[in-house]
Amino acid sequence: MLVHICCSVDSHYFLQKLQADYPDEKLTGFFYDPNIHPYSEYYLRLLDVRRSCKMLGIDLIEGEYDVENWLEAIRGLEHEPEKGARCSVCFDRRFEITAKKASELGESVFTSTLLTSPKKSLRQLQHAGDTLAEKFGIEFIAPDYRKASGTQEQNILAKEDALYRQDYCGCLFGLTMQREQQQKLADELFVPLSGQIQPESIEERVEMYEERWQLEEQDIPYRIVKQRFLNWRLKTGLLRVRKQVVAAHFLPYSTLKGEYSRGKIEYTTGDLHHMNRDEVKFITLETYNRLVESCYNTVIELIFSPPPFEKELQIRTQLGMSPYDLSAILVVEEIPSNKIEILCQSEVYSDVREILIRTS
């Protein structure tokens, strides 16, 4: 039996139920999910599915991440609601590729872990599976493992085995609509030009779950704990001096009361040069290099290759500022002596992150 897998939370329970109900079947997992955006999220879910399948002794095949073809298939349906026409096309495409793969492998039956997702329509999935099963001359099975407290059991298993629990279905369009309804920032889509790993970003999670895999391979005990904290994302940062754009690096947690400010340098305290409005401060690249123990030659070099986020966080304290300070701090090569204009579009918000702790 070929089992299409969407994520570990759905598959871990579903596969164990299949193993119990179909003891004579050799199960093979098939991870085919080009709908998942961004790619780092796709990779993170794949990583956890690999771990789940390894725990259950099930072979796993990874399908092609043909995101361009998926986007073409749902063109014109971008604004459809969850469980609408876009989802139908998405299921049809993933089921068709799965049915085709099952036929190529000589499997007589296929199914999908999407059947256990509480956010999916069982009737919609059944129709898609049956139609494609007929087309390829194989069987589609649709066991309802949600009933009889199945969803609760699924969640218990996911917690017990410390599975990665994503909080959106997967596609770009569903994510943006969900975040708009929640009035939350879709920070899953934020990837800085510098490549710096941001707190509670998908990239940070990938690092953590890869480390978890290594710890388990070495049989080193650990725990994943949750931490509530104040998060920050910079959308746009721009400095003009006498209407000319000047290279500037905005330190983490830089904010303005609005999005725009203008003024001039009024006074200096130690390494900090204070603008006369909106608590804006400047430091030189020379000061930055000394505090971070770096050797950047230009601010442009710093912008595109900054040190780790955690290292930059220490700068405010090193400058004698409060750890609760949210003033905009800009790193420049020379302190401006003329009229300054600043655009700083940033968000600070309450968030939750996972932390990996070794317990040995």
- pLDDT value of position 147: 86
Contact 354, 292 (CB under 8 A): no
Q: Tell me how far apart the alpha carbons of residues 15 and 27 are, in angstroms, rounded to a whole number.
A: 8
Strand residue runs (E) in 73-157? 109-112, 139-140
Q: What are the CB-based long-range contacts (under 8 Å, 24+) for 185-188?
A: 185/233, 185/347, 185/349, 187/231, 187/233, 188/38, 188/41
| Domains assigned to the chain | 2-189 (3.40.50.620), 232-352 (no CATH)
- pLDDT value of position 46: 98
The dihedral through the CA atoms of 166, 209, 194, 226 has a sign that is positive
Q: Which of 104, 138, 119, 81 is closest to 32 using CA atoms?
A: 104
Q: What angle do CA 99, 102, 103 make, to 5 degrees?
A: 90
Max CA separation in the chain (angstroms): 79
- pLDDT value of position 88: 86
- The per-residue pLDDT for range 305-330, each reduced to its tens digit, is 999 999 999 999 999 999 899 999 99
- pLDDT value of position 151: 87
- The per-residue pLDDT for range 175-225, each reduced to its tens digit, is 999 999 999 999 999 989 899 999 999 999 999 999 999 999 999 999 999
- pLDDT value of position 138: 95
Residues 6+ apart with CB under 8 A from 81: 177
Count Cα neighbours of 93 within 13 Å in the Cβ-side half-sphere.
22
Positions in the chain short of pLDDT 70: none
- pLDDT value of position 148: 81
